Chains A and B, each alone.
Chain A
Amino acid sequence: MVEKKKKQQAVNGNDAVPSPSSSSSPWQAFLVHLLSGLGLASALGVAHKFYSANLVSDPLHTLRLIWVIEAPIVVLIYSMFRSNPKQCSYWKAVGRGILGLPVGAVVNALGAIALGAPVGPKYFLKTVNWSLLMSLFTVVPAASVFGSSWTDWIRLFGHTKPSGSNDYMICLPAHGAVIGAWFGAWPMPLDWDRPWQEWPICVSYGAIAGYLIGMVASFGLVLLRGERQHIKGE
């Protein structure tokens, strides 16, 4: 298994020439994930403190609050890790991230509807807000970092072959969020009559949980990779 991974890395190292900026140190990764996590936590905290709402009692406004608070954090932070800082200014990366938000939301919403998310006027705004949040978890970081570089997108989301620490930071939380949301949909048909079984509450919970797990995994892998490179360097 370890050998396979090494081989893969060697192949990737030969194939794609990673630009110097595409790897960030473990503490940077930690900071990025910490800030994103704090953003989520603070959004939930604000919702609880000032609006006395949570995802269950008022999913629409809570989701809106979460993505409104989380969006600047994610866009501003990930834009610092843009893949080609020479050609692309910081603000251009921010613009790409902002553009990625609605595009990713459309993709996520269509995916959710294909999978069986309820449609109709009653659910429209909830779906919009949920998909904006999912877009922040999945598409926006990649849009900020890679822009329209299709090969990078394919590498991360098609083959799931992250090579650098930046890739880990984008790829793993995004996959975590999607897989978490997929599993989060499973309690929905149960006849328990609990309020959190409504669309999109449990799916959002699943996505947030998956996102958090993905961030922890990404930090762990970046740390591991850093150590290995350190050993290699020596």
Chain B
Amino acid sequence: MLPFSIICSELTTTLLQKVVEVLEGQSGPGGLHENTLLLVMGDHGQTINGDHGGGSAEEVETVIFAMGFKDPPSSLTLERDISSCQLDAVLLLFSTCYCYRCVLDFSSVKVFPKKTCIREIFGSSCDSVLDGRMFCINSMQQLDFAVTVAALLGVPFPFGSIGSVNPELYALAAGTWNLKRSNDIFQNHSSTEEWMQNYVNVLCMNSWQVKRYIDVYSASSVIGFSNEDLLHLSAMYAQATDNWSKIVTNLVSEKSESCHVSLPDLKRQIDAYLSFLASVAELARSKWTQFNLEIMSIGFGVMLISLLVHVLCIRWLNKLCRVYVRSHVESGISYGLMLSCLIVAIRACSFLSNSYILEEGKVAGFLVATTAMLKLRYSITKTKMQLEALVFVLLISVLRFCIELGLSKQAVSSGLADVFPSWMLAVAESYPFWRHIAELLPVLALIILAYMLHESISRSSCRRFLKNVIRGTIFNYLLIAAYWTSESKLLNLPLMRTDIQRNYIPKVIYMIGFGQLSSLALLQFLSEEKTSSWKETVVVKIVAVLSAWSSTIIILSGRQGPLVALASMAGGWCIMRLECLEQDSENSHLQTFSLYSFPVTQWSLLAVCLFFCSGHWCAFDGLRYAAAFIGFEEFILVPQAILLSIDTFGFSHILPIFGLPFLAIQQVPSGTGEQRKGFFFMQLCQVYLMYGLITATTATFTMLCVAIQRRHLMVWGLFAPKFVFDVLGLMLTDFLVFLALLYYCVQVDDDGPRHQITEK
């Protein structure tokens, strides 16, 4: 399989010449290549600038070169498609299909858009390679290739193929048939008729197989073909087979001296079969490869409207906030806002190319590193928080290597192993020291996390209930540490029976996590305690919900879990701290809108990075199926689906969304209780709306990309999974934002109706 451009190149032409020469040298009677058929083909074409895999004519059309080395017994005349062609070599424009089921093609090629290339090959090589031989140029559908080759090889046709045997290619092999028998018995029987007889037989089998597939498909599929279409096809098939059986029975009953079918009959029969096959292909093409453009445009319109609603709501909340802080400055378009818009736009536009989708993690890392460096530069000019900015840059650099490791895993799984990661893994495997480190590091990270949680509650004076929830998480962390230590090969502790520890500890952790979350939900219905600091209570609430989720997410993510959790915590802390850089006297005129845009963009990019860091990618083989079986031996659909989705979206959606109020709480000014709460709620809504806007923008561009590339080679391998992940992510984001708003703000009763508006 060679791309079109390579087939076109001079190198290939000369190579082909050499191959043909060698083969011809051994193609004499009894030679090694007496019965060889040479096929050289490209799998797809290419545009001038190097794009391939798309739906344009340049990309879907390629070349197939076929050559038989045995001369046919006599000149074989095919009057159907080609005018009098003694077939030694066939050059076919081969139009590949990148559409549904990969057995169908939708573009029928009548013209030769690559005339230059054809001329190039023949101009330079037809004198030598095809010296004195006739050749034929025509076009065929890729759909027909599999059955044609099957017919040539004499193997059964592929079950799911609905192509028809191509007459030109099939004719090439005519020379290799043993026609002696027929020549002996029927002296006056021309080889053309013999060939046509064979072709009719092949088409008969071909039609039978296609009919069988259509019947099986219609019986099993939910949305199959319509009844009229099926009846029409059955009628066509019945007519063709009846006709043929009539001819055959006539032949047998009459016992005519020339025991073969007349040429016009054969031609009629070929036409009947071919028209049946063509109508099957046409019907399948119309049913399987057509997209419902109406529904697609409605969906796209809905996305655009939702983007508009987001923007309008953000602006509206901005106005409200300005009333609260009593600032009347109109100019609010800041450097940060422009930059974040630019970054979101660049990221969204990058989804229009399959290459950037494939390397989405790297692109997100690149963008977030850029923002981190800009922050570092800003912090240096402000001469404060340089440490935080530096830590953030370092963290992003570390994440970048993790993402590359994850991408290399993806490459390994798709069979494109790189040398670099395997070398690294080999080092990790061969040195016991590194293995010990790898065993110890997660436990150490867990202990650090537990210690931090402990610190966060020991200092605060919030209510006991929240503290207990967080203590539950600390207990969970200890359980996870115990679970991993007992599983590790280092210690080999015979503490518990293996099946007990393997299944019960995770289940206990899930249950404690669920209990924590439901008790936090119940907390909303309890009356609010009068505590010393409202702000502190909110912070502890955020920590509580994050910690409640974290234990489940960490155990599902495996040993990398605590490290990724630490990284996400450090990243979030840096973004939160760096947010305060903007918030000084100089920038007090800025709108909240501008203040939040940059940190929220960073937050969402960091979330994307964490998704790729934790070993996921946007494909169905990027799901960590093993995570679903932690704590379960056998397959139970519902709990395992929930576990798998928590693992997939845990670090990238659940934690970032519940942690987002950290950004809003920074900006709450001092004031009276109720006013402050109202202000916080508006800020929170704004932050969530911005986050939703960023997610929706990327999802919209993914939709646009999928709509444009719906005929692409990689549509099932790349675009469709990406689309599914993005749309699921968007829905999950909206749902989680809704939950988070309920959780954080339900006490502010007068703002209740706004939920519906902002959530839309």
Does any Cβ of B come within 8 Å of A90's Cβ? Answer: no
Q: Which residues in B have their C-beta under 8 angstroms from that of A157?
A: 377
Min CB distance, B339 to chain A, in Å? 13
- List residues of B (350-391) whose CB comes within 8 Å of A's CBs: 353-356, 358-359, 362-363, 365-366, 369-370, 372-373, 377-378, 380-381
Q: Which residues of B contact A185 (CB under 8 A)?
A: 366
In the assembled complex, B415 has its CB within 8 A of some CB on chain A: no
Residue B310 lies at the interface, judged by CB distance under 8 Å to chain A: no
Given A113-B397, A120-B420, A189–B381 Cβ distance below 8 Å? no
Interface residues of A in 152-169 (CB under 8 A from B): 154, 157-159
With contact pairs A113-B397, A189-B355 given, residues A154 and B381 touching in the complex (Cβ less than 8 Å) = yes
A127 CB to closest chain B CB, in angstroms?
14
In the bound complex, what is the Cα–Cα distance between A84 and B365 (angstroms)? 42
CA distance A157 to B365 in the complex (A): 23
Residues of A within 8 A of B369 (CB): 114-116
* CB <8 Å contact, B359 and A189: yes
Inter-subunit contact B366/A115 (CB<8 Å)? yes
Residues from 414 to 447 in B contacting A, C-beta threshold 8 Å? 420
Known: A191-B358, A192-B50, A193-B50. A158 touches B393 (CB 8 A): no
Cβ A158 vs Cβ B380 within 8 A = yes
Known: A114-B396, A116-B369, A158-B377; 4 extra A-B contacts, CB below 8 A, are A114-B394, A115-B370, A116-B400, A159-B381
Residues 86-122 of A at the B interface (beta carbon under 8 Å): 111, 113-116, 120
- Whether the pair B365, A116 counts as a contact (CB closer than 8 A) is yes
Q: B46 CB to closest chain A CB, in angstroms?
A: 9
Nearest CB of B to A228, in Å: 26
Contact between chains at B393 and A191 (CB < 8 Å): no
Residue of A111, A190, A194 ringed by the most chain B CB atoms within 10 A: A190
Q: Is B49 at the interface (CB under 8 A from chain A)?
A: yes
Q: Say if the beta carbon of A182 comes within 8 Å of chain B.
A: yes
Q: List 28 A-B contacts (CB under 8 A).
A: A114-B369, A114-B372, A114-B393, A114-B394, A114-B396, A114-B400, A115-B369, A115-B370, A115-B373, A115-B400, A116-B362, A116-B365, A116-B369, A158-B380, A158-B381, A159-B381, A189-B359, A189-B362, A189-B363, A190-B355, A190-B356, A191-B354, A191-B355, A191-B358, A192-B50, A192-B51, A193-B50, A194-B50
For residue A154, which residues in chain B have a CB less than 8 angstroms away from its CB?
Answer: 380-381
- B184 CB to nearest chain A CB (Å): 57
For the complex, give the distance between the alpha carbons of A116 and B377 in Å. Answer: 19
Which residue, A157, A158, A182, A191, has most C-beta atoms of chain B within 10 A?
A191
Contacts of A116 in B (CB 8 A): 362, 365-366, 369, 400
Interchain CB contact under 8 A, A182 and B354: no
Establish whether residues A189 and B356, one from each chain, have CB atoms under 8 Å apart when the complex forms. yes
Closest Cβ neighbor of B361 among chain A residues: A116
Docked-complex contact B396 and A190, CB < 8 angstroms: no
Closest Cβ–Cβ distance, residue B131 to chain A (whole Å): 35
Q: How far is the CB of A180 from chain B (nearest CB, A)?
A: 14
Chain A: which residue is nearest B359 at the CB level? Answer: A189
Q: How far is the CB of B417 from chain A (nearest CB, A)?
A: 15
Q: How many Å from the CB of A115 to the closest CB on chain B?
A: 5
> In the assembly, what is the distance between CA of A154 and CA of B355, in Å?
38
Name the B residues within 8 Å of A158 (CB-CB): 377-378, 380-381
B370 proximity list for chain A (CB < 8 A): 115, 182
Q: How far is the CB of B50 from chain A (nearest CB, A)?
A: 4
Of A114, A189, A190, most B-chain CB atoms within 10 Å:
A114
Task: List the 3 closest A-B pairs by CB distance, nearest first.
Answer: A158-B381, A192-B50, A189-B359
| Nearest chain A CB to B363 CB, angstrom units | 7
CB neighbors of B among A176-204 (8 A): 182, 185, 189-194
CB distance from B441 to the nearest CB of A (A): 21
Could you tell me the distance between the alpha carbons of A199 and B56 in the complex, rounded to whole angstroms? 30
